[in-house]
Amino acid sequence: MEPSVIFYSVQVKAGAWARVFLNDLPLHEQDAPGVDSHSSSINELLVHGENTLTVEVLTAPPERGPGAVSVHFYTVIDWTTKPMTIAPVHGFSFPENAVEAMAPDRKVPYLHTSTFVLDRGGFVPAWIGADIVDFDCGGTPELRAAVLELHLCVEQLDIDRFLELSELRLSEYERAHPGIPPARADTRRDALRELFSYKPKIPPLEMDSLHFEPRAGGRVAYVRRAGGGYVLNAPTERDPRRRLKANLLFIRRQGTWNIWG
């Protein structure tokens, strides 16, 4: 039996600031306090058995109203109802699920960790079997070269090489979402080709501004900008409303770094 598609939603209210990780992999981050929200499917991050949710509440409103930061995992039972019918899987809401945080003088940051168990059948995400690599916030020469090559593809509008470098990311997302048309690798390739046809214009890469983090026990390299913002951030020349933006997740297999997320 194919595993269910599991979604997440994160809601952050005014005055709050949070980071969310699933199995030590980044799920949600903000550069500063403020209203924010995001939702997506997360099958490629999940493992069979025990999964771990980590929520770092960095700031919170003084009044400590309910749902300053909330995270919910769920499956969709019926898309046609209004609102759609869902089945909860796991969740956390700050401060109501953190009794000690209700007091007005409770200081943040606040760290929440909880686990939940899932049956993922035979699905094993690629990052589980990746090489375990120890590196500091400057990365490794090979990892930095991998980031540079991806950046150059955008700079040179080389969509063929960009797709070649992204093949693991595209194929793994499809494998994690079997039977879901928008998750098909060819559908996502077509979307990237269309985006590149609008000519994204990316600024020069300042390697020293990047921060490299080993996540999931060193199996995943998370690349972000130390001062906030995206590693790849390129509005398109033909329509500035369209933009390629992403932080990067790499895994190393057989000695080679591959873009995974």
Distances (CA, A) of 20 to 133, 152, 168, 182: 23, 30, 24, 25
Supply the DSSP symbol for 61. -
pLDDT score of 63:
72
Q: Which residues contact 8 (CB under 8 A, 6 or more apart)?
A: 22, 27, 39, 40, 41, 42, 71, 72, 73, 74
Token code pair at residue 108: 């943040």
Q: State the pTM of this model.
A: 0.91
> Mean pLDDT in the chain?
92
Domain-ending residue, one of 86, 103, 124: 124
If asked whether residues 100 and 143 sit together in one domain, one would say no
Whether 198 maps to a domain, the answer reads yes
Taking only the tens place, the pLDDT of each residue in 84-114 is 899 999 999 998 887 655 555 566 888 999 9
If asked whether residues 58 and 151 sit together in one domain, one would say no
**Alpha helices of the chain — where are they, by DSSP H?**
141-155, 159-165, 167-176, 185-197
Domain-ending residue, one of 109, 124, 139: 124
Residue 95 preceded by cis peptide, ω within 30? yes
pLDDT score of 106:
61
If asked whether residues 136 and 254 sit together in one domain, one would say yes
pLDDT score of 3:
65
pLDDT score of 100:
58
pLDDT score of 99:
61
Supply the DSSP symbol for 229. S
Domain that includes residue 238, residue range: 128-259
Whether 52 maps to a domain, the answer reads yes
If asked whether residues 113 and 141 sit together in one domain, one would say no
Whether 1 maps to a domain, the answer reads no
Whether 132 maps to a domain, the answer reads yes
Taking only the tens place, the pLDDT of each residue in 7-24 is 999 999 999 999 999 999
pLDDT score of 102:
53
If asked whether residues 17 and 119 sit together in one domain, one would say yes
If asked whether residues 153 and 37 sit together in one domain, one would say no
The HSE-up count of residue 17 (CA atoms within 13 Å, CB side) is 10
CA dihedral sign, ordered 157, 162, 164, 170? negative
pLDDT at 163 over 90: yes
Domain-ending residue, one of 92, 124, 156: 124
Number of domains in the chain: 2
Whether 2 maps to a domain, the answer reads no
Mean pLDDT of 26-50: 92
